[in-house]
Structure formats: C-alpha cells, structure tokens
Amino acid sequence: MPLDIDLRKVPVVLLYNLDPSWTSREKEEVTLLSSQLGHAVSQFGHPTTLVPVSDSDLEATLRPFNPSSHVVFNWCENLPATPNSESLVAHTLESLGFIFTGAGASALTLAQDKQAMKKILGKSGIPTPAWRLFDRTEAENGWRQFPAIVKAANEHCSEGLSRDSVVMNRKELNARIACVLETYGPPALVEDFIDGREIHVSLWGNGTIEMLPPVEMDFSQFKDVHDRLCTYESKFVPGSAHYEGIHTLIPAPLDAEDLHTLNQVCQAAYVAIGCRDYGRIDVRIRDGIFHVLDVNPNTDISPDASMACAAELAGYSYGETGSRIVRLAASRHPAWGRGSGDIGSGLPTREGD
C-alpha cells in the first residue's frame, strides 16, 4: 500500500552532467543553472542533493542513494565523452531501479531518431513536414519542394542548423546534404521548410495532460527566408544575429479555435512519442495546418527557457514548476505512488497547495 506522504517532501537527487572536457565558463554556467533549480525545488519543500555526473560510471555516482527513498530529477543530457547518450542515462536509471523525472529510455531513443519519430507522427495522423532521408548526395534526387531544410538526422538541440540549412534549389540541396553527411555522418534529413509562424508548446502531466501558454518565436526582424528558423546560434551563442534577433511572444497571439487545435495536435504528439511528466512540442503553422517539427521529451527547464516562462505565466513559481515535475514522477514510486502517475489523480494540484 502506498504510504501517506506529502509528495512535496519527497527527497530528490538532482542529476546533471558536468563534462571534464568543458571550458571553465561552461562548467560554471551548468553548475549555476543546476544550483538554481536545486535551490528552487528545495525551497518548495523537497530535500535536494545535487549530483554532477563527471565520468561515465553513472552506477558508481548513484551508489550512495537508495532507489527506495529517492526520486531522481534527471537533468543529465549526456555522459562524459559519450555523445548522444541521453537515453543511456535513462536506461541506467531504469536498470538501477530509480524512479526519475521525464521520459524513459525508449522515448528518449526515439526522440533522437528523427526518421522513427516522423514515421510515428505520420502513422498517428499528426501533421509533420514532408521529408526524406539521404545517405549520399545524388545529382538527381527527386526532391521537388523548395524551400527545403537539411538537418542531421540524429542530432538534437539544433546541432548543425544555420541559415545555410535552408536551401532554395537542387544545387544548394545537394551541397548542403554533402556538408551534413561529411560533418555528422549519414543520414541527412531533408524536409519541406514551413515558412510560417513557429510555436513552442510546453505540456505536462500523464493521463491528464495540460498545455501551458504557448510561446511564439518572432522572426519579424528577418526578411530573408534563410534566417527564419531557430538555429544552434539562436540558443547558445549570445551576440549572434539569431540570438539577438529572434524574440519570444508569450503567450503566442492565437484565437480560441487555434489554441484548441494546437492543444489537440500537441497532446497527440506528446502521447505518440511517449513523453512523460513534461515535454515541449515545436510546431509551425502554414495554411491553417499545425505541423509538428520536433518533440522534446526532456526539454530545457532553465529559468529563462520557454517551459519555465510558460509555467510562470500560468501562475507557477520556478520552485512550483520543479516540484510539480518531481511529484509527477513520485506518483510512479512504489512507496508513494497513487497509481496513474497523474497529479490530477489524487495528487495535490496547485489550486490545492
């Protein structure tokens, strides 16, 4: 039988990566952001221990903690010197018996495989841009839709995306495919470039899923189609044209009908990909159709990231946001769980705080 425990007091292990190969500035920034989250969660009532992952032996790192008495806040994106290992972190947590926040290993694996994700979205009837994979450059490749965008099929966080990723004809397409294949390896993903409004939609919950206020990426300062996208620089390079020029509108100016449609599409994508506890869906609108560009199961929840901003607009402090995610995970714990993993099913909501 589950114990009668206040889920706001569940002990938390905040797991984050701290790669020894990073610069001192990068380490300081990650440590600061992790400390901010840990402090906010602890201030809201959870005893919280910050645990940096600085080597590949995650099992040894977690040895001091008992899975029966802790929930892991999984904020670890990679193991050191192990690229694209986000799903491996989750797999290790699962094998050790920890209950942890966010998506499981299978959903994180899927999210990094753009081909598999696109196929699932398509089979689920969820609109997504037309696409094709290329393992090599082909002089006559059959692609006819321009503008198009070329991505590395197995990268995330906009890795490899720049204004040069948008191509206007077959010559540019082949050149960009060759560049992606040489830099990141096969395959390259080519998509119809939806030159329309881009909305980032944060959701949370299991069973009962709630959409937080959508955030629009405002590209109005850019007149050239090549610049109307969220590049790697727009997220990680302060001072760059995209970092400075793309503004966010929150909430996104959408009427009630569009909000309803957006909610339906994003919830369907959230469920289809296997998101758990929280996630973000990136959508572009063209001719009234909401196209899902990407599904981000363990999206960034730094204080200035879109999910934290959306939650704040919805009335949640940063500590409340972190605590809600912890409680969603804790509801799956055999000692404290209430069955469905849904705060709406017996767990206190914000209105009951």
Q: Global pTM? A: 0.89
* Helix residue ranges per DSSP H, the chain: 24-43, 58-62, 86-96, 105-112, 114-123, 170-184, 232-236, 241-245, 256-273, 306-313, 318-330
pLDDT value at position 351? 34
User: Which tens digit of pLDDT belongs to each residue from 313-349?
Assistant: 999 999 999 999 999 999 999 887 654 444 433 333 3
pLDDT value at position 338? 58
**How far is 271 from 273, CA to CA, in rounded Å?**
6
**How far is 85 from 78, CA to CA, in rounded Å?**
5
Least Cα distance to 178 among 142, 149, 145, 138 occurs for 138
Pick the CATH number of 131-192 from 3.30.1490, 1.10.3470, 2.40.50, 3.40.50: 3.30.1490
Q: Assess contact for 252 and 199: CB atoms under 8 A.
A: yes
User: Which tens digit of pLDDT belongs to each residue from 138-179?
Assistant: 756 778 899 999 988 877 656 778 889 999 999 999 999 999
Q: Which two tokens stand for residue 309?
A: 């901003």
State residue 254 phi and psi, 5-degree precision. Answer: -130, 145
CA 204 to chain centre: 12
pLDDT value at position 332? 92
Helix (H) / strand (E) element for 99: namely strand 99-100
Per-residue pLDDT of the chain in tens (353 residues, 90 and over written 9): 233 457 778 899 999 999 999 999 999 999 999 999 999 999 999 999 999 999 989 999 999 999 999 999 999 988 988 888 899 999 999 999 999 999 999 999 988 888 899 999 999 999 999 999 998 777 567 788 999 999 888 776 567 788 899 999 999 999 999 999 999 888 899 999 999 999 999 999 999 999 999 999 988 888 888 888 877 666 666 666 666 667 889 999 999 999 999 999 999 999 999 999 999 999 999 999 999 999 999 999 999 999 999 999 999 999 999 999 999 999 999 887 654 444 433 333 333 33
Cis peptide bond upstream of 251, omega within 30: yes
DSSP string for residues in 15-45: EEE--TTS-HHHHHHHHHHHHHHHHHHHHTT
